[in-house]
Amino acid sequence: MTGERLQPQRLLHRRIVVKVGSNVLTGGEDGLHTPTIAAIATQVADLVRRGAQVALVTSGAVAAGRHRLREIEALRDDASKLAPRDVQSRQVAAAVGQARLMALWDALFAEAGVAVGQALLTRRDLADRLGYLNARNTLLAMLDLGVVPVINENDVVSVEELQDARIGDNDNLSAQVANLVDADLLLLLTDIAGLYSADPRRDPEARLIERVERIDDVVEAAAAGGAGTRGTGGMTTKVQAARIATGSGTHVVIADGRSRDIVLRTAAGEPVGTHFLPAGDRIESRRRYLLSGLQARGRVIVDAGAAGALLRGGNSLLPAGVLRCEGTFQRGDVVQVVTAEGRHLASGTANYASDEVARIAGKQSGQIVDLLGYEFGEEVIHRNNLVLV
């Protein structure tokens, strides 16, 4: 990552998930390669200062942990304990390395004047309705504040008895995160330029596939192959991630994370790596889901003031504007927002269950804790989880 910095360009993508693989973070070494990580942090910080919202999915915890534990073993003259790559050894390495990895990201972003926050996720967090809503609301709130979420899978608690809780690799995790935050772009940074027609390390005739409009058998065959020396994913898992994310309307790019200003260039829409085009419209897909009558579990009736605020766009539904609710629904369920006359204004994901909404209806947000004894946010429905009819 040398040479002159890219001059600022208009950003084509505003909400971006960047996934950095272990082979990029280690720079081909045993431990973390600070100059490479610093270059990525600098670029992400630049995007945040220019108004973009960026979430970072980072590998490297296990590699960093193994490197640190080898250092300790060398001091103790006992290098046999970490030889096996079983589940427990991986978890120990992840526990040690996660702290070092997060500390490094935090220090580098702090130098650039940007705050970061750590999020460790498992499959169960995203499969459970409330877990999904909690994760979504927290990550979106961080992005709104200009905080960069630094995300990894929680390998420490994904024990052998809980294999169904594991996502399995950070490529697929990044695709889940992209869907979680409605990202415009998912950028998968690896140690090669993108998806090739064959393995470029073995076949000199391999050519870079620059654009993929549909993921078919030919594309999957090109992706077939093993993981890198330090990663758990490979090109196959990256194409799997691309299938998940493009299906929800997100652009996906696989590119070389060591290339100069690769994050900035991709965000600006420069043709780099392999670009997977969205298979559908992200906004329209979400609208159809939330507005489907089959999804709705109840109704929230609002006054004229709240109705006007919602119709002007960009506003959340606060309890002060709620008259009452109908039906029985739980936190995380889809509900319809209607006027007192029965006009359907919007639909969204409720932050509170129906009995809780009934207790806070017409009250100020500052009274929620007093009335319920707890709070899931000052909104009955946050604007990020709300669509107008």
Work out the pLDDT band at 294, boundaries 50, 70, 90.
low
2 assigned to some structural domain: no
221 shares a domain with 196: yes
10 within some domain? no
CA distance 261 to 189: 12
The C-alpha atoms of residue 33 and residue 60 are separated, in whole angstroms, by: 10
3-state DSSP assignment of residue 363? coil
Is the pLDDT at 16 greater than 60? The verdict is yes
Measure the CA–CA gap between 108 and 387, rounded to whole angstroms.
37
From CA 155, how far away is CA 66, in angstroms rounded? 14
Q: Which residue, chain included where needed, has tokens 């046999």? A: 80
Instruction: Kindly report the average pLDDT of the chain as a whole number.
Output: 85
Question: According to the model, what pLDDT value does residue 153 have?
Answer: 82
Q: CA 327 → CA 169, 301, 313, distances in Å?
A: 40, 11, 26
Locate tokens 């029985």: which residue?
328
**pLDDT per residue over 298-349, tens digit each?**
999 999 999 999 998 779 999 999 999 999 999 989 999 999 999 999 999 9
| One domain for residues 268 and 303 | no
SS3 129: helix
pLDDT at position 83: 46
Cα gap 230→38, rounded to integer Å? 20
| Entry pTM | 0.78
| 169 and 303 co-located in one domain | no
Question: 369: domain range?
Answer: 285-388
| CATH code: domain of residue 298 | 2.30.130.10
Secondary structure of residue 33 in the 3-state scheme: coil
The reply to whether 319 and 195 lie within a common domain is: no
Contact of 119 with 135, CB cutoff 8 Å: yes
Instruction: Output the pLDDT for position 95.
Output: 78
CA dihedral sign, ordered 216, 217, 219, 220: positive
- For residue 167, the model assigns a pLDDT of 54
Q: Are residues 77 and 172 in the same domain?
A: yes
pLDDT of residue 289: 65
Residue 230 has pLDDT above 50, yes or no: no
Domain co-membership, 289 together with 255 = no
The more confidently predicted of residues 248 and 304 is: 304
pLDDT winner (highest mean) among 25-29, 138-142, 167-171, 283-287: 138-142
How far apart CA 265 and CA 12 sit, in angstroms, is: 10
Task: With beta carbons less than 8 A apart as the criterion, state whether 350 and 319 touch.
Answer: no
* pLDDT tops 70 at residue 292: no
CA dist 131 → 121, 124, 137, 274, 348 (Å): 10, 8, 10, 33, 17
Cα–Cα dist 265/219, whole Å: 24
How far apart, in whole angstroms, are the C-alpha atoms of residue 177 and residue 148? 13
On whether both 274 and 322 belong to a single domain, the answer is: no
